[in-house]
Amino acid sequence: MDNTKKLTITINDKEYKVDPGQTIMQAADKCGYHIPRLCYHPKLSIEGACRVCIVEVEGMRNFIASCCYPVADGMKIRTNTRELRQARRDIVELLVDNHPEDCHTCERDGNCELQRLVYSMGIRHRHFTGERKHYEKDLSGASVIRDPDKCILCGRCVRMCSEIQGVHCLTQAHRGFNTVVMPAYNMPFAESVCSGCGQCINVCPTASFVEKNYTQELFEKLNDKSLIKVAQFAPSVRAAIGEAFGLAPGRNMEGQLIAAMRRLGFDYVFDTQFAADLTIMEEGSEFLERLQGNGPLPLITSCSSAWMKYVEQFYPDMLDHISTAKSPMSMASAMIKTYWAEKMKIDPKKILSVATMCCTAKKYEATRPELDVHGMRATDLVVTTREMAWMIKSAGIDFVNIKEEKPDSPLGLSSGAGAIFGVTGGVMEAAVRTAYELYTGETLIDIELADIRGFKGVKEAKVVIDGKELRLAVAHGLGNAHKVMEMVRKDRNRFHFVEVMGCPGGCIGGGGQPYATANSIPLDEEALRLRAQALYDLDRGKTIRRSHDNPDIQRLYREYLGRPLSEKSHELLHTHYKAKLPRGIVSPELKIV
C-alpha cells in the first residue's frame, strides 16, 4: 500500500484531501478547523483525558477524541453539531464546577486557558454545581507552589515532568473525584525530587502550579531607603519579556528592561551576561586543567540550577564530573557583594542583590548555603521574567515605549559569548571560543558552532584543539540530560565536555518565562526559536564575542581575582555539590563516594 497517498475525508460535509498517518485533530487543523482542546500538547504524549476535543465520526456509536484517533479514508467527521456542542460545553462546565471561583484574585486571571475555554464554550450559567475538592496548597518548595484546588487533571504537568524532564516528581494519586496530582508519598515539594525547573508552570492551563512569588516583598524592599538595591538579569529575560507586553517573541528588550528596573527603584542594574563571561573564564580554565590530567573528564557544566538538583539526586556518582564553577547568577552576586562593594566602599550587608531570571529553580539556588559569600547570602531575591513583567506593569511603567538604557559598570559589559548562554549549546560554544584561544594562543576563526545549535535533544560535536580531537555533547531538558548521563556512565571516555541545560531550549524556555498567550502553545518551538535568534543576533551584533576579550572581565582579574582558578576565585566563584538521595528510593548501582 502506498503510504503517501492522500486520504479523502469530509469535515462538516466538506471534502478534503489529507495526508495519512495523522490524527483527526491534526488533519482538521490543516483544513482550518481548530477543534477545542485542553489536555493535548504537541510535545507531550497523547493523554486523551479531557475529552474536550471530541468529534462525531459517522458510523461510530460514541464521540471520538480527535487528539488520538487516526484519520482514515472516507471518514466523515463533524466538529460542531448541536449534540457535540452541548457535550463539550457540559464537559468544560464539569471542569469549572470543580474549580475555585476566584478568577479575580488568581495569578493567571486574564491569561488562563480554562477561562478562555469556558468563554468560548458559551457557558453562561451552571447546571451541575456540587461539591468541590479541597486540598492544602503546598508552599514548601523554594521555587514552585502547588495548588491542587485549581488542578483540572489534564495531566500535562505529569507528562512534562516525566516525559520531557525525566524527573518523575509528579503523578496522579487516588481515584475518581479524589484524584490529585502530587509528588510520591504526597511529600512536600521541598522534600520531593522536584528540580524546581518550573516546566509544570509553563504547561499548566490554570494556576495549579505557579512560582513562589516575591513581588510584594521586592516592592517593600525597593522602598527601603537603608538598602542599596542592585539588580541583575539573565540573558534570556531580555529575549522573552516583551511577550508579556504583547510583543511578538524574539524582541531583545535589554535596554527597556534596564530603564524599567531603574524606574522601579533599583540603584544599580548589572547584567548577568557579564557573569556568564566570568563563568566561561573559570569553567574554561577548569576544563583545560582537567584536559591536562587534573581532574576527571568529561567536565559537565553546572550553571543550570534545576540540573544541579537533578544530578545531586539521580547522579550522585557523577558529582566529581560537575564543574565547580558557580552559575553566572551566583558569580554575579558574589562579585557584587565583594569586589564591587569593596570598590564602592559599601557595606555588603546593606546590599539587596536581586536577580531577574527566566528560571524558577534559581529561587532555590539562591537559598543554597554552599553559595554563601563570607557568611552572607549572595543573591537575596530571585524573581522570574513573569514576576518582573508584572511588577513593571503594576508600577505603571510604559515598558514598550520607554527609552533604552545601558547597564551599570563594571559588572554590566558583556561579550557575545555571554549572551548566547541563554540558548542550548551556548555555554559550550562560549567555552570553546575561550578555551581554544587560552590553550592554543591562536584566534578561533569560525566561532559559531552549528553542530550544537538548534533544538535537537542531544547534540554531539567534535572540535580539534591543537591537534587533539575533543568530543562534545549538549543536552537540553532534563530528560535529554538523563540520556547523555547514561552514555557517560557507560563510557566515561566518550565525551570531554558536556553541557546540560535543564529546560527545553535552554534558559530561553525556562520555567519563569512569560505564559503562552491566547493563540499560542506553551513552549511553542517557533517561539523558542525566535527567542534564541534574539540572543544569537545580540552575539553577532557585538564586536566583542569572546569572554576573555571583555575588558571588564580583564579588569576584574587584574584588580581583584588575579587569574582564573586563583585562590580568590576558588573562594568566591567555585563550590561543591553533595549527594541528595531521593527519599525512599536508593538505586543499588549508586556508589556514593
Which residues are annotated as catalytic? 283, 286, 303, 323, 362, 365, 370, 507
Give the Cα separation of 190 and 142 in Å (integer).
7
Tell me: does residue 50 bind another protein (CB under 8 A).
Answer: yes
**Near another protein by CB under 8 A, which window of 125-133, 363-371, 478-486, 568-576?**
125-133
3 state SS for 366-426: HHCHHHCECCECCCCEEEEHHHHHHHHHHCCCCCCCCCCCCCCCCCCCCCHHHHHHHCCCH
- Interface with another protein includes 454 (CB under 8 A)? no
Cell of 113: 486557558
Across 140-178, b (16+ Cβ under 10 Å) vs e yields bbbbbbbbbbbbbbbbbbbbbbbebbbbbbbeeeeeeee
Query: Which x/- pattern over 19-48 shows residues binding another protein (rule: CB under 8 A)?
Result: ---------------------------xxx
Least distance from another protein to the Cβ atom of residue 55, Å: 11
- Of 95, 503, 565, 573, the residue at the interface with another protein (CB under 8 A) is 95
Beta carbon nearer to another protein, 206 or 414? 206
* Interaction between residue 122 and another protein (CB under 8 A): no
Nearest approach, Cβ of 311 to another protein (angstroms)? 25
Q: Which is nearer to another protein, 26 or 171 (CB)?
A: 171
The verdict on 431 binding another protein (CB under 8 A) reads no
For the bound state, the minimum distance from the C-beta of residue 436 to another protein, rounded and expressed in Å, comes to 44
Q: Give the C-alpha separation, 252 to 419, whole Å.
A: 11
179 binds another protein (CB under 8 A): yes
Out of 22, 87, 227, 228, which residue is the one contacting another protein (CB under 8 A)? 87
Question: Residue 119, interface with another protein (CB under 8 A)?
Answer: no
Q: Which backbone phi and psi does 199 adopt, to 5 degrees?
A: -65, -25
For another protein, the closer CB: 173 or 447: 173
Rounded Cα gap, residues 155 and 529, in angstroms: 26
8 Å CB contact between 458 and 484: yes
Instruction: For residues 154 and 146, give the distance between their C-alpha atoms in angstroms, rounded to a whole number.
Output: 15
Is residue 175 within the footprint of another protein (CB under 8 A)? yes
CB 155 within 8 Å of CB 218:
no
- Positions in 130-159 near another protein (CB under 8 A): 130-131, 152-153, 155
Contacts of 6 (CB under 8 A, 6+ apart): 17, 18, 19, 20
Q: What are phi and psi of 539, to 5 degrees?
A: -60, -50
Nearest approach in angstroms of CB 61 to another protein is: 8
Is 161 in contact with 169 (CB distance < 8 Å)? yes
Q: Using the rule CB under 8 A, which residue among 43, 51, 393, 471 binds another protein?
A: 51
Nearer to another protein, 62 or 105 (CB): 62
Q: Choose which of 18, 27, 54, 222 interacts with another protein (CB under 8 A).
A: 54
Chain centre to alpha carbon of residue 376: 27
Torsion 360-363-365-366 (CA) sign: positive
Contacts of 107 (CB under 8 A, 6+ apart): 207, 210, 213
Which residues from 62-81 bind another protein, rule CB under 8 A?
A: 62-63, 65, 67-70
Enumerate binding residues for another protein (CB under 8 A): 46-52, 54, 61-63, 65, 67-70, 86-87, 90-91, 94-95, 97-98, 127-128, 130-131, 152-153, 155, 171-172, 174-179
